[in-house]
Amino acid sequence: MNIHSSRDTYASAPLLEGEVAADPIEQLQRWLDEAYAVQEIREPNAMCLSTVDREGRVSSRMVLLRGLDGRGLTFYTSYFSRKAHAIEAHPRVAVAFYWPALHRQVRVEGTAAPLSEDESDAYFASRPRGHQLGAWASEQSERIEDRATLAERMAHFEERFEGDDVPRPHSWGGYLIAPTYLEFWQGQPNRLHDRLAYERDGRRWSIARLQP
């Protein structure tokens, strides 16, 4: 495959001001629903999360969106991870979704804060047992000697919680990203793409069209 010259043609219905929701969260929900309806899109809730650490270094990684409501976007992770330390230093984060089959991108910017213990407990309880044990076994973002050590840690926690519910480790939980900016990008022919940007204007959202 030649990266230099490979090109996709984007021929989709245009994104029009008169057709999008006044509330960008509702618009994101619509696009997520549409992405879930496309069979070839796996994990439409996967999003690239960018953070800035204490030294001003930007880093990005994928996480899974696990909740979307009037407050914003929710994801779960380790509170001791590299991303968590960065959020502690700089709570402003950015997120990007990309659904190639729909020629769509969504960008979100906002402020991340830990979710309530109750919400994290409830989500942790809904996870498969293996994932729950994995959260105990992995000290996310820390170095580890080898894969066998991780397997040993997993075996240790399987034994420790045998016959019991697995409680949520305090090192693990959710974040809520309260958005201040959302941008919806719809690919169009000749690279004349649609971009509609929502910006918080007090309690309301303003919508502006941006050049592609």
Ligand X SMILES: Cc1cc2nc3c(=O)[nH]c(=O)nc-3n(C[C@H](O)[C@H](O)[C@H](O)COP(=O)(O)O)c2cc1C
**Binding-site ranges for ligand X (CB under 6 A):** 43, 46, 59, 61-64, 75-77, 81-83, 140-141
Closest approach of ligand X to the CB of residue 99, in Å: 13
Please indicate whether residue 191 is annotated as part of the active site.
yes
Closest approach of ligand X to the CB of residue 77, in Å: 3
d(CA 191, CA 197): 18
Which CB sits closer to ligand X, 78 or 188?
A: 78
Of 27, 19, 11, residue with least CA distance to 183: 27
Closest approach of ligand X to the CB of residue 193, in Å: 25
Closest approach of ligand X to the CB of residue 37, in Å: 19
Which CB sits closer to ligand X, 59 or 149?
A: 59
Which CB sits closer to ligand X, 48 or 197?
A: 48
d(CA 83, CA 86): 5
Which CB sits closer to ligand X, 76 or 184?
A: 76
What is the 3-state secondary structure of the chain? CCCCCCCCCCCCCCCCCCCCCCCHHHHHHHHHHHHHCCCCCCCCCEEEEEEECCCCCEEEEEEECCEEECCEEEEEEECCCHHHHHHHHCCEEEEEEEEHHHCEEEEEEEEEEECCHHHHHHHHHHCCHHHHHHHHHCCCCCCCCCHHHHHHHHHHHHHHCCCCCCCCCCCEEEEEEEEEEEEEEECCHHHCCEEEEEEEECCEEEEEECCC
Which CB sits closer to ligand X, 66 or 200?
A: 66
Closest approach of ligand X to the CB of residue 164, in Å: 24
- Among residues 7, 42, 191, 203, the one annotated as catalytic is 191
Residues with active-site annotation: 191
